[in-house]
Amino acid sequence: MAKLSIKVVVAGRTYPLTVDENEEKKVLSAAKDINKAIKLLQDNYAVKDMQDLLAMTALQLASKSESKEATNDSIVTKDIEDKLQAISDKLDE
């Protein structure tokens, strides 16, 4: 899998990352979701400290992910099965 160097902006700071080609969209989408959540908190609450906003955003996103655990478990299982199949295919060659 090819690696890509991308720059992701979260909370006004730029982070250089190296990601697999197939992860680029997920990472950029995650950064977009984080920035939206921060903006929403800024608009609705009198919180100015970026560290507080990041912590509040992390809590929100983590609590949302708990409700998706069953779905994520099946995705992880599928991902593992795909990787095992790819390894098996390479061994068969």
Q: Is residue 49 part of a domain?
A: yes
Type of residue at 26: K
Nearest to 11 by CA among 45, 29, 37: 37
Instruction: Look up the domain containing 8 and give its range.
Output: 3-68
Q: Is residue 85 part of a domain?
A: no
| Number of independent structural domains in the chain | 1
Per residue in 11-48, pLDDT tens?
Answer: 999 999 999 999 999 999 999 999 999 999 999 988 88
Q: Is residue 93 part of a domain?
A: no
Q: Is residue 74 part of a domain?
A: no
Q: Is the pTM of this model over 0.95?
A: no
d(CA 40, CA 37): 5
Q: Is residue 91 part of a domain?
A: no
d(CA 71, CA 81): 15
Token pair 């680029």: residue:
24
Type of residue at 51: Q
Both tokens of 54, joined, read 């990041």
